[in-house]
Structure 1
Amino acid sequence: MTWTVLSHPPDTLVVLGLALAIEAAAGYPDRLYRALGHPVTWIGRAIGGLEGALNTGGEGRRRAAGTVGLLVLLVTVGSVSIGATALAATAGPLPALLLLGLACASLPAQRSLHDHVSRVASALRAEGLAGGRREVSMIVGRNPESLDEAGICRAAIESLSENFSDGIVAPAFWIGIGGLPGGALYKAINTADSMIGHRTPRHNAYGWASARLDDLVNLPASRLSAVLIVAASLLHPGASAAGACRAVRRDAGKHRSPNAGWPEAAMAGALGLRLAGPRRYGTEFVDDGWMGDGRAEAGPRDVERALALYRIACALLFGLVTLGALILKVVLI
């Protein structure tokens, strides 16, 4: 059993199915976070330490140092996760799958993303703009004080769409491919991009390798997330699968990100909205393309509609994983 969870796709898909079910049901418990932290916080501390030691000198040196720092991070995370997988395997086949499912449940964020976005709609209804701005500031980087109700709701839906791809579908994809090491390595890359992959004087050169690699590893999941949103639209009354398909074909490539436009365009077209477009992050103005050609005046009800589509898409992802595991088990027996 020592390496079957790494080398046999049915086992990695079983691990993934367990992880998605556990995380959807329980999330990442606050008590566990207070006691142990979270894999993202552990990885974040390593990224911060490496940057403090390496991010000096001219642009060429910073770019090389950032590449070296990323490689050190990935070797470390890969070694730890492979060791954890081998240790779990010594418990026997079924206990190993359960242990690895529990470990991998810390990598996707279905429940926490749903809860954060849901609080935006609830706060807008209960407290008005002040509450909506407070809650949306927890999930987006733009200045919330510049947002009216429609801007708050669009920002929440955009964050839900993009994070469905890189916070749920992408870690699921890489867990399915490579078990715990695959998911952990993806999370390390994605966390590095979120911390140092910015076009700022401090990070533009040092974070270059992290940003480029994050774009690459998110490419399959961004396309799959759009497909899942389109499929969810077929099952949700009032959503338009045809509109989602049209928006993806027409608008996904207009987004400044090579990946975020796919789920955002699908969500915009499905709900008859217009997302993304020109917006401000702090002092930086981003002249981005519009996703969708519907109305820009979104409200709390639209956030709730987006959450309903998101729940269906997450269920479809789980179903796809379960079906894949069953088919591979039958084929490979």
Structure 2
Amino acid sequence: MNKKRWISIAVIVVLLVIYVQTDVISGGTNMGKLEKSLLPSEPSFTTGTYQEGTGKTIALINVNGTIQSGTDSLSSTDTYNHQIFLQEIEDAFTNPEIQAVVLAVDSPGGGVYESDEIYQKLISLKERYPKPLVVSMGTLAASGGYFISMPADEILATRDTLTGSIGVIMSTYNYSELAKKLGVEEIVFKSGKNKDIMNPMREATEEEKQIIQGIIDEYYGYFVDAVAKGRKMDRQAVIKVADGRVYTAMQAKSLGLIDQIGDLDGAIAEAAKMINESDPTVIQYQNETLFNLNRLFSMVSPQLDFLGIKQNLQDSAAPTVMYLYR
């Protein structure tokens, strides 16, 4: 985190302490006012100069962290914000000054829904605004991180990149034996026999396993189709390499999963070549949201959920279908 962000956080903390102290005197009205005034109604972004040039403009957009909605928190190390990212790619393609887009992906993947939302949006934007799209893979561009790369015209990965992991996963826990030892019994009232499917308090039935596997197989088919289309590969050839494993960059290149071994500068040079530009100006999209202020409020207000623990427990109780390397 840079110096400016630390200063911003310090200022907000000081203001928050002042408001909390005066909140007692004012009868509890200041916290509500502060939240309304400081919390942005819409996620936002800015652009900065990544590379100065005299020619056409190329946009650089980063995907860092797990591709999932609602993951931003005070304690999170991910910098990915799904809604902001969707706004950034929309802006990059609709902005007439931007001639090409470079997507820097460093992600283990994420939710099936979010990954497919990005994929579909990129496909749609490229159809309406035929700008070159080049993907630069970082340390890890796996599963959903690979999936969202499929609309690219060219994919580059460094020799140390791990990519691929073409597959789908959905998991839960089985707490039944632990519950017996602790003397805990769950009582469930349900409208149908499969209403509590993947209930962690009991063994899954064979029928339930078939139901879940059917869901996995369907989403897996979407992934395979996206790779076959994006990489111009035969579907059966994709299935042969799509067993969930990750590949090194050299392995991925030999299998046709990426195009070149190269770094971010190489990806930018490739995008410049596609627009016939030798000295491009590269702008980089930057996330303005420092952190979720709701998390900060929760730390100082006992009425609010401390660090989102309650919400996290609720989220973990709902199994999610993931394009995720794990």
Greater Rg over alpha carbons, structure: 2
Structure 1 length as normaliser, TM-score?
Answer: 0.26
The structure carrying a bigger helix percent of its residues is: 1
The structure carrying a bigger strand percent of its residues is: 2
